[in-house]
Structure 1
Amino acid sequence: KYIDEYSVDKTTGLKNKTVTTQTELNLEKISEDEALDGYYLIVTSETQLSLSEVISKYRGLWRIEESFRITKTDLKGRPVFVRTREHIEAHFLTCFISLTMLRMLELRLKHQYSGRKIIDGLNSAMATELSKDIYSLNKRESVVDELDKILGIKFDSRYVRIEDLNRYHSKILKSMYTTP
């Protein structure tokens, strides 16, 4: 970007396309860029938007980029080991629904936890079947305790019946579709 290459005739010192190549720094380009050091430049084709609208849209891009990252890594959006179009679409629909639910949980938790921490916390909330109707609840992360408070469930008992787990499940699903 800052280096110009050209050929010079050794006898005349003039630029020539057929002789040895010389390299020199383009100090003018360096100066132009230095004048803008520390500033962000946003180039847009959206001429109808105000400056504040353009900046607002730009600032929102990180959420989109983060969503792609979460979908690819945390929700296992890639690599996809399915072949048919229907299976691929179903896989990505599942990832999209998971991302939507994750974003809803982030909102309910008032962005106190990152998406990764919510996923890790939910993965830590395990129940082990002891008998046909009784489960033992295993250790879990603090994010699950916060979800307990927000969703109004009691998931902090050591043992729980299957009916209670089913009731918690229904309560969680209902609360996901109501405003906090």
Structure 2
Amino acid sequence: MGDKVIDRYALDQDAIEAEEKYDGYYAIATNLDDSAKDIIEISSKRYKIEDCFRVMKTNFSARPVFHQNKERIIAHFMICYTALLIYRLLEKKLDLNQTHFSVENIVETLKNMEIANIEDMCYMSTYTCSQVCTALNTVFDLELNKKYYQPKELNKKIKKILG
């Protein structure tokens, strides 16, 4: 039989109290010669960059990549970056209108916004309008809550979005 193991520990209260004065602070170490203000401003935006990679990986399927051809790999990432750019512009426009939604809400709403061609006479929306859809209506004035659209209407909406 093995020896009996006894675990013992002790907390160094003095060390804990000495470290507590740094609680809530974030240290930045850099070799840049910029001013502290500039470095802090850049660092404060780091989360946005990290969030972009998370959004691309999670919501735009940037990884894994199952392409072998270099051109296809580049095309795949260009599509992902373009989707991210469009999402960020949409997010910014919604935020300026005091309306914020998570990336999941926006992407899910846009994925579900489909229309069906009814014998080349009109288009029927197959989606139900959500809070995101309502906010997009407000920001872009697109009347996305209609059930039927004439082809000319959709062309006007596309031109309006593209500016």
Percent of pairs with identical residues: 28
Is contact 2:123-2:150 (8 Å) kept?
yes
Q: Secondary structure at the match of 2:124?
A: strand
User: Which amino acid in structure 1 is aligned with residue 140 of structure 2?
Assistant: L
User: Which amino acid in structure 2 is aligned with residue 71 of structure 1?
Assistant: M
Structure of greater Rg: 1
1:112 to 91, 100, 103: 100
Aligned to 2:4: none
Select the structure with the greater relative contact order (CA < 8 A; seq sep ≥ 6): 2
Is contact 1:103-1:115 (8 Å) kept?
no
Normalized per residue, the structure richer in helix is 2
Structure 2 unaligned blocks of 5 or more: 1-8
Normalized per residue, the structure richer in strand is 1
Aligned to 1:136: 124
Q: TM-score, structure 2 length as denominator?
A: 0.79
Displacement, 1:55? 1.7
Structure 1 unaligned blocks of 5 or more: 1-23, 175-180
1:145 to 134, 159, 162: 134
Q: Secondary structure at the match of 1:109?
A: helix
Equivalent residues, number = 151
Let me know the Cα RMSD of the aligned residues.
2.6
Q: TM-score, structure 1 length as denominator?
A: 0.72
Aligned to 1:19: none
1:96-111 aligned at under 5 Å gives the runs 96-110=81-95
User: Which amino acid in structure 1 is aligned with residue 152 of structure 2?
Assistant: E
- Taking the aligned partners of 1:163 and 1:119, their CA distance within structure 2 comes to 26
